[in-house]
A and B are shown apart, each in its own frame.
Chain A
Amino acid sequence: MERYRANVMLCAGTGCVASGAMKVKTALQEELKKRGLQEEIKIVLTGCNGYCAQGPVMSVHPDEVFYQALTVEEIPRLVEEHFLKGRPYQKLMFKEPEKKVAIPLMRDIPFFKYQVLRVLRNRGLIDPESLDEYIARDGYQAAAKALTQMTPQEIIEVVKDSGLRGRGGAGFPTGLKWQFCSNVLSDVKYMLCNGDEGDPGAFMDRSVMEADPHAVIEGMIIGAKAIGAHQGYIYVRAEYPLAVKRLQIAIDRCYEAGLLGKNIMDSGFDFDLEIYQGAGAFVCGEETALMRSIEGKRGMPRPRPPFPAHKGLWEKPSVLNNVETLAQVPLIILNGAEWYRSLGTENSPGTKVFALTGAVNNIGLIEVPMGIPLRTIIYDIGGGMKKGRKFKAVQMGGPSGGCIPESLLDLPVTYEDIVKSGAIMGSGGMVVMDDNNCMVSTAKFFLEFTADESCGKCVPCRVGTRILLDILTDICEGRGREGDIEALEDLSQDIISASLCGLGMTAPNPVLTTIRYFRDEYEAHIKDKWCIAGVCRDLCTFFIDEKFCKGCMACQRACPSKAVVGEKKKPHRIIQELCVHCRTCYETCKFKSIKILPAKAREAQPSELIELVGTAQKKQ
């Protein structure tokens, strides 16, 4: 291997590429060439680093200095400072909000400090398109061990002992799944990988496939040996072109190196692997639907039993594991079950990757030990609420999940505890919401998704989710009626009891958890026609409280419909007829002079208004 003075690990994950990583790369290359450093400094394009909010990002090794928010304009200075003069370039370093002190090293940045990387062990450290680099980081050692030194049952025992649970969301013990399939006698079996990540905002699996495709392949080889499969498919949605590309490169390299195909590593074990691209239906992430989809049929779930371990793909015994689950398998084989259990809790050992997003300062991809309290994730890793706003809820588990309120923030992140809250672990989406979010609208947002993505096979899901959405839409648009909340709850329970697959059984969760923790908000929507967060346009009146207004004109300039009037340094007023309820003034005002009142305030008399402002103040 050639040696370099320094390696620049430039993140080329989808997030950073979107914010200009490739342009930065070109600029960096040109600049290094100009300075004659191209022989000394190597640029490596890595997979997702996780700190997507600050992209493009890069780290310089061996110094471990982390740079963020790179721009083409800053590259010459950066090269000059860091690589010529040898002093880290402060301007592009991470600074804690408010504190303004630059933190040079990645491990000191709070976002990274609390994370433990297992699944993401190679993130930002290797070139995902290089098999050598993966092998250099102990890659395929576990596969070698499994293929040459272990029996299928031994592999299954280790995985069972590790307590690894499926990271796709339901948390079914992986070892047990393999055991079931291993017990079935059949010439043909299939090892499948579920890369059809479909939750809005979640991108854990994509990052793993993009940053460390070999980890997934290695996990599949081990799983294939355990269950006795000789053919595998990775089901990836076609919306992940980069993941598909890198997986394909990885598969090709493996075939060249004899890590896939006939007689892998001279062990006598054969395993062929192919990518199957999904067409983007959410329901195809459900295992039976996914298998139908690979068969080339309409992706619809079918009733179980028979379970896929008995009759899966093409009616043959099959195991389907999630990307993240498979990426952990090599570590377990290599380091043992005890090591794996050193993190996490008894029933939820190991680590979990989350896509942290929403109203926190640091958003991106994180990996944390199970059992860590939600509060730590939001306030330490996430760096707290943006602009110091008030925390309202964290949505976990995407469309199948639910909203967890502030009172449950000390909840440890384990499969069991999350379920108790009414949400689910899910694949790992975590959306933090502040008081700018309306919980009814949030439920409606997720229902729009599930109603649209329901395959349409079973009645409760197909029609039920549509009706839930209809009622929520009515509530958000001012047509809420007495009894709607009860109807929502009642129908939700029936949908959960009667649906055919996981999609329907969990689709009402966003509705039920928001009603459970934010019932008053629903009631305000229905009875008072009042959306306190000011999100539902028909259910709010924006009103300037003269007591607080300084007459700074900021809202007047920001208002798109010229509804704010008033002279400089004199209290402003909103002309209700012109107001489009877009919240812009509310977000612009630095003096909290804008109040969100119920819809009826639009025509209210002054005396009533004063009363309403009083109530509003109490509520907000």
Chain B
Amino acid sequence: MIELTIDDKKIEVEEGSTILEAALKNDIKIPNLCYDKRLKPYGACRLCVVEVEGQPRLFASCSSPAENGMVVKTDTPKLRKIRQTVLELMLVHHPLDCPVCDKAGECDLQDLAYEYGKPEARFIRHRKEAPPDVRGPLIELSSNRCILCGKCVRICDEYQGRGALGLIGRGFPVVVQPAFGEILECDYCGQCIDVCPTGALLSKPYKFKARAWFLEEKDTICPFCSCGCTLTLGIREGKILRSRGKEDNGVSGGNLCGRGRFGFDYIYSENRLKTPMIRKNGELVPASWDEALTYVSDNLKYIMTAHGPSSIGAIGSHRCTNEDNYMLQKFMRNIIGSNNIDSSAAFGYAVVEKAWEMAFGQKSHRINLKSPLGKEVIFILESDLSITHPVFGLNILRAKREGSRLIIADSRETKLTRHSTQWLRIKPGTGIVLLNGIMKLIIDKGLFDRKKVAERTGFSLLESVLRDYTREKVSKITGITEEELTSTAETYATAPSRMLSLSIGAAENTKGLDTVLAAANLILLLGDSPDSLQIPAEYCNTFGLYQVWVKPEGKGILEMLYDETIPLHSLYIMGEDPVINFPQTSKIIERLRSLDLLIVQDITLTETAKLAHVVLPASSWAEKEGTFTNAEGLTQMLRKVVPATGQSLPDWMILRNLALTMGRDIGVRSLNDISNEINLSIVNRQSSIVNRQSFNPVHYTLGEEPDASYPLTMVLRDILQHSGSMSTRSQALDLVAPEAVLEINEEDAKRHGILDHTHVRVSSRRGSVYLKAKVSDEVLQGVVFVSLHFPHGRINTLTYPSLNGTPPICAVRVEAIK
């Protein structure tokens, strides 16, 4: 610690802090426009200059280290004069078009000019007069308003690892632009909009929607991935107009991705359900709540009596709150009397939990978003965490910047592979082989933790299973060289601190339970704690819904939806769209059609809802209160920020009302009651931790090998703008990624006669879909890449669920359409 005096105030700061940091930590305000604590000091705006006693020159406080005994003045006539001049110079070219600028009212430049500015302008001779660049889908660039603080350029390059913007030119004419003045094509995270101190970078969807001072801002939790970032929503007249991140706010510290920033408008989709609907004469027609609930109640009662409660199942939702999900399982267990309840987690988080119990004897796995920081080696297996969990991805990039070695095993070129220290371009789905190969080398070289391994069961079995995974074999199957394999094994095994991370979910098909078990084996072999394996839950409340017991004690999804031998007469689906999101669409449709009663409770008329007998309109995440639990296990409050759409109601309330209609008391009346019950039940269950660690050796089996008729391997993965049925209904995100695209390697495209941007037919053993092709060198030869999510894409027509733990890799054929 060092001590210095700033404005007569004695303060202590850590050595290495800058003067500005020291001041800000002690609530001493020094004006600045180019400083951001996430970025390296830049020193361009010169507003943060301070005087240091005994030094003739001025110090830019953002880049000058605080020194012991320093006496700093931050506000003297000399400094005021300099700041005044600097602002005057900025306003020489910055147009005074505040009346038509969205930033007015929350503009740093405006505020500083108000504080320091002079009434008269001495030097108005030069203005920039370039028209704003409105070509991009979401971000507008007005170079006239730009004061070239460089924050956007730096946050994009240094922090987001994207580098989509640059400073072009020299001297007065410098402008911020994408390379060669092309249309801005980037991650559309919009971080540049947040950091811009003027109105040079604006959100297009928000443009001319409201003056800053008319906006009411409310914080809530993001409804997309499981990072659980806090969104600051701007609301006017009951409508959400924008979403932004506030510095230091929430788990992400104010960082947001494109989904969180632009995706909220899915709640204004024209597809929103406004009234309950009942199928009459084959058509879904609007009905009143009374009618609908009575219909459901009568039919459920009938099925309960006719076929027994276990012929009824329910699917909960990662999109719904803990309270909603708790209510669903309580309804099923207490009112219906069935334990057939499951959710999309069956394809993701359930696998993780299962593996955790098998390998570590632990009940649940929560990650730490900051875990990558400070790790010597970070190893990521077949996952694009920058896309599935953008804020977790940011921490991985940050760790890399701060010196971590980043090893990525992935078939596809991604942002992470571009920033990696080593990129192992393995064939899709061969992660298990890679892990087994690494483990064999570690054992052969004696690099494992003998002491801890001795305490664990199953090591001899592991050794015998691994015997098969020689360097040659692993190299042949994965496609990486033997040297790469050896160096990875050595680097990982000898690192003083390390972590392995991957993601798993229904939207991915390169990993299965076996992959997680193989990863856990590696952790155990090296004697690491379970924390060094980080597998985030998929969506905003995937973790939470598991906590509130939306998991099968009776039949799970694989049985309810895929096993024809299981008798099922009714399904209650809350906030899920199995037709689009779950594998093998044809089977699901067949199953749903066979039901006597399909109840779908959702915010929009999904593809699944279109098959329902009754559709119940639910309120969206912004229209209700409740909690989400993120992948870290952190439970955060949602706020009701806008009124409900139409007659929609929060999911828990619909279930309460239904119970009442059925003449039963579910025991809770209000949200508060539910919260109390949840808290009690979680405390009650926490006792059952076994903590027995054992190896679970796994062999590699391919789900589906490519052959002559289906020569290509199809990889499913999220894309940055979309994560499911909500994002695809966002108009803003749709502008960037409007439809499912099949990415195919140049060579393969040539061989199959496929041209860039033409439509192709993709077929697997289970069906065919039509997609637009994009020829790309980001995917390997022999591999095609598709993302699910798009309702009209129906990619799951091609897929199948993994029943035995192997990665559900899918072989396909791609044909050009004449």
- The interface of chain A, by Cβ under 8 A from chain B, is 281, 283, 298, 300, 302-305, 451-460, 462-467, 470-471, 474, 487, 491, 494, 497-500
Q: Which DSSP category, helix, strand, loop or mixed, fits chain B's interface? A: loop
Q: Which residues of B contact A462 (CB under 8 A)?
A: 148, 171-172, 174
Residue of A nearest to B94 (CB): A463
1/0 contact string of B30-62 vs chain A (CB within 8 Å)? 000000000001111110010000000110101
Q: Which DSSP category, helix, strand, loop or mixed, fits chain A's interface? A: helix
A491: shortest Cβ distance to chain B, in Å?
7
Taking a contact as CB atoms closer than 8 A, the residue among A283, A453, A460, A466 that contacts B85 in the complex is: A460
The answer to whether B148 touches A456, judged by C-beta atoms less than 8 angstroms apart, is: yes
Q: Which residues of B contact A499 (CB under 8 A)?
A: 46
Q: Which residues of B contact A470 (CB under 8 A)?
A: 123, 125-126
B328: shortest Cβ distance to chain A, in Å?
55
Q: Which residues of B contact A494 (CB under 8 A)?
A: 81-82, 85-86
Asked if B678 is at the interface of the complex by the 8 Å CB criterion, the answer is no
Residue of B nearest to A454 (CB): B171
Q: Which residues of A contact B150 (CB under 8 A)?
A: 457
Q: Which residues of A contact B90 (CB under 8 A)?
A: 459, 463
B117: shortest Cβ distance to chain A, in Å?
14
1/0 contact string of B79-110 vs chain A (CB within 8 Å)? 00110011001101100000000000000000
The answer to whether A459 touches B89, judged by C-beta atoms less than 8 angstroms apart, is: yes
A302-B42, A500-B60 as given contacts; A456 in contact with B171, CB under 8 Å: yes
A463-B92, A498-B49 as given contacts; A298 in contact with B125, CB under 8 Å: no
The answer to whether A451 touches B89, judged by C-beta atoms less than 8 angstroms apart, is: no
Q: Which residues of A contact B45 (CB under 8 A)?
A: 458-459
Q: Which residues of A contact B167 (CB under 8 A)?
A: 298, 300, 456-457
The answer to whether A454 touches B170, judged by C-beta atoms less than 8 angstroms apart, is: yes
Residue of A nearest to B123 (CB): A467
A299: shortest Cβ distance to chain B, in Å?
9
CA distance in complex: A456, B49 (Å) = 18
The answer to whether B44 touches A466, judged by C-beta atoms less than 8 angstroms apart, is: no
The answer to whether A491 touches B85, judged by C-beta atoms less than 8 angstroms apart, is: yes
Q: Which residues of A contact B63 (CB under 8 A)?
A: 302-305
Q: Which residues of B contact A465 (CB under 8 A)?
A: 171
Asked if B397 is at the interface of the complex by the 8 Å CB criterion, the answer is no
Number of interface residues of B (CB under 8 A): 38
CA distance in complex: A460, B89 (Å) = 7
B402: shortest Cβ distance to chain A, in Å?
12
The answer to whether B171 touches A466, judged by C-beta atoms less than 8 angstroms apart, is: yes
Asked if B122 is at the interface of the complex by the 8 Å CB criterion, the answer is yes
The answer to whether B46 touches A498, judged by C-beta atoms less than 8 angstroms apart, is: yes
Asked if B696 is at the interface of the complex by the 8 Å CB criterion, the answer is no
Name, among A462, A499, A500, the residue most crowded by chain B CB atoms within 10 Å (CB to CB).
A462
- The interface of chain B, by Cβ under 8 A from chain A, is 41-46, 49, 57-58, 60, 62-65, 78, 81-82, 85-86, 89-90, 92-93, 122-123, 125-126, 147-148, 150, 166-167, 169-174
The answer to whether B43 touches A458, judged by C-beta atoms less than 8 angstroms apart, is: yes
A281-B170, A452-B170, A487-B122 as given contacts; A459 in contact with B64, CB under 8 Å: no
The answer to whether B172 touches A454, judged by C-beta atoms less than 8 angstroms apart, is: yes
Q: Which residues of B contact A453 (CB under 8 A)?
A: 170-171
CA distance in complex: A300, B34 (Å) = 15
The answer to whether A459 touches B172, judged by C-beta atoms less than 8 angstroms apart, is: no
Seed contacts A454-B171, A455-B170, A462-B148; 6 additional CB < 8 Å A-B pairs: A454-B170, A457-B167, A458-B43, A459-B86, A463-B126, A464-B89
Of the A-B pairs whose beta carbons lie under 8 Å apart in the complex, a sample of 18, sorted by A's number, is A298-B166, A303-B42, A303-B62, A304-B63, A305-B65, A454-B171, A456-B169, A456-B172, A457-B148, A459-B89, A460-B89, A467-B89, A467-B126, A474-B125, A494-B85, A494-B86, A498-B85, A500-B60
CA distance in complex: A96, B63 (Å) = 57
CA distance in complex: A454, B42 (Å) = 16
A463-B92, A494-B81, A494-B85 as given contacts; A458 in contact with B126, CB under 8 Å: no
CA distance in complex: A458, B34 (Å) = 10
Q: Which residues of B contact A491 (CB under 8 A)?
A: 85, 123
The answer to whether A460 touches B46, judged by C-beta atoms less than 8 angstroms apart, is: yes
Residue of B nearest to A455 (CB): B170
A301: shortest Cβ distance to chain B, in Å?
8
Q: Which residues of B contact A497 (CB under 8 A)?
A: 49, 57-58, 78, 82
CA distance in complex: A283, B174 (Å) = 14
CA distance in complex: A302, B154 (Å) = 13
Residue of B nearest to A499 (CB): B46
Q: Which residues of A contact B43 (CB under 8 A)?
A: 302-303, 458, 500
